Amino acid sequence: MNNFDLSKIEKGSPGFLMFGSLARKCLGMQCQYAARFLTKKSVVSGLNFKNLKKDADEWHFIEVDENDAQELLARIKLED
């Protein structure tokens, strides 16, 4: 499993990290492109998010539980 450096990731609500910041700093992707992975059950299953809506294009407001961020990034890397 990858260990991504989350120290410079923008914080969201208490206990959450901003998905856009994770996408840019850890995956090297703009969040609208990385967000396509969030439509896959294999990527999001069992992970906690805020503002993740199936039919919304509000990528910049998606937040990921900080305890799930490493796992989410690893799953996206596997899918990419």
- Domain ranges in the chain are 16-79
Burial class from Cβ neighbours inside 10 Å (0-12, 13-18, 19+) for residue 16 reads: buried
- Angle, CA 18 vertex, CA 34 and CA 11 arms, to 5°: 155
pLDDT, mean over the chain: 91
**Stated pTM of the model:** 0.90
Q: Would you place residue 54 in the very low, low, confident or very high pLDDT band (cuts 50, 70, 90)?
A: low
The pLDDT of residue 58: 77
Indicate the SS3 state at residue 49.
strand
Helix (H, G, I), strand (E, B) or coil at 27: helix
pLDDT digits (tens, 9 = 90+) for 15-48: 999 999 999 999 999 988 999 999 999 999 999 9
pLDDT at residue 74, as a whole number = 96
The mean per-residue pLDDT over the stretch 60-69 comes to: 94
